[in-house]
Structure 1
Amino acid sequence: MNINKESLLQNICVIAKSAGESIIAIYHDMTNYQIRKKIDKSPVTEADIISNNIILSSLKNITPNIPILSEENPIPWDIRKNWQDYWLVDPLDGTKEFIQHNGEFTVNIALIEKGKPILGVVYAPALNLMYFASEKQAWKKTDKHIRPISCCQANPMSVIISRSHNNDVDKMNKFLSNLGEHKIIKIGSSLKFCLVAEGKAQLYPRFNNTNIWDTGAGQAVAIASGAHVNDWNGSPLNYIPRESFLNPNFLVST
């Protein structure tokens, strides 16, 4: 892929912020939207759809030759099976957090190249936090500062788990029992990847279903910070096109 990744990353940050602003406009007027259920029973709101439309139209404008796979626009397998490079988008990751009004939801945009997330932006508009990464560098941006981030070890270690999705209890308990002293942090959306990336947590074990758009951008940030994102067989989580959108269970570690 012959593109200027630094310039592209700046553009994606702008797109994510624009999409996030559209979400916040609805978030602050919670009486003015409906919650619907998709085929898989997961919730979807007007905010998901508006954010999705902004991201897709913007990406098509700046990279018209790169196809896009979004949670709200799943592309049939026969069309995407030979994709080498593509955008992977979750326009509102953490819809349950959005509905619960706890602020822990994000806009996720990742660029996949030959199965690897090489660029990613995770924007949490309600928290005014943006994490972004390209190649081997990751950054965190607040309203006042932009700083590079990297993962780190800690004693006792912190383990981050999902706030709203139940892991396989037996597998999780077995995993935690083998760690020794540790602290638990619960948070929603792909912010879990980002907390590992900036050193606030050391492990993020996942023992229940995720889809590829849930993880692509967060994985890009985590890997660029020096962390590892592997399935439980030790292989890196990859995004080579496959018929199912489901990921294997995985571990993010420093």
Structure 2
Amino acid sequence: MVASEELFHSLAKGLIAWSAFLFASLLFTEAKYGRYAEKSFYVMNGKLGWFIQELPALAVPVLLLCFTECHRILYTCNRALLTLYIIHYVHRILIYPFYLKGKPLPLYMVVLAFMFCLFNGYLQCGYLLYSAEFKEEWITCPQFIIGLVLFISGLGINIHSDHILRNLRRPGETGYKIPKGGMFDYISGANFFGEILEWWGFAIACNSLPALAFAISTSCNLGPRAVHHHRWYKKKFEGYPLCRTAIIPFLF
């Protein structure tokens, strides 16, 4: 399979343009899932829905590796970056959904997320497998190491924040509580912050337009949701900590 760098750059630019539109839309309305979900006949089980919508992100690199000639996988740095991507989605697809206690997902949200993961899975993994060509010494460069540290830190924050959210309520309890501990002591969207940090670390380590487009997309999607969560918490809980910001500690 032949895929040029120009193709991946064109796809990345398209993703950035879509992200700008999405960001503008989400500033004025909440994505209709979770606590903002509206009643609909077209819903599916939350665990199954999450598994299905994220599955292409992991299936795409597996299929590419199995059924195409991916010469770039011979490069150490390409393998390392692809491994980071796969680690994230192994957790998001094979572990995270089975701990969910949330509401059913609207079917249209599952379809849209499925399409995004299919597109972005090809953009990120296709670029690493067909186009990107890193020199062997890149893996020891400060930029790669900084990106790696940010990615691992973001992954840890994301997993720890999800753990806090899962354990807010005791068995039999309902309703919402104020999350405490970890990055939640500083921001309302700690889980979102962790994922955003992950993909900016990935973008820094990759030093590529496709990875940058993914980081921008993640920020444009999760950033507004964190802002809406912050406003919701302040409105619902009279004693909500004033020192917390929405998504960037001490700033915003």
Give the helix-richer structure, 1 or 2: 2
Larger relative contact order (Cα-Cα within 8 Å, sequence gap ≥ 6): 2
Higher fraction of strand: 1
TM-score by length of 1: 0.28
- TM-score, normalised relative to structure 2: 0.28
Max Rg structure = 2
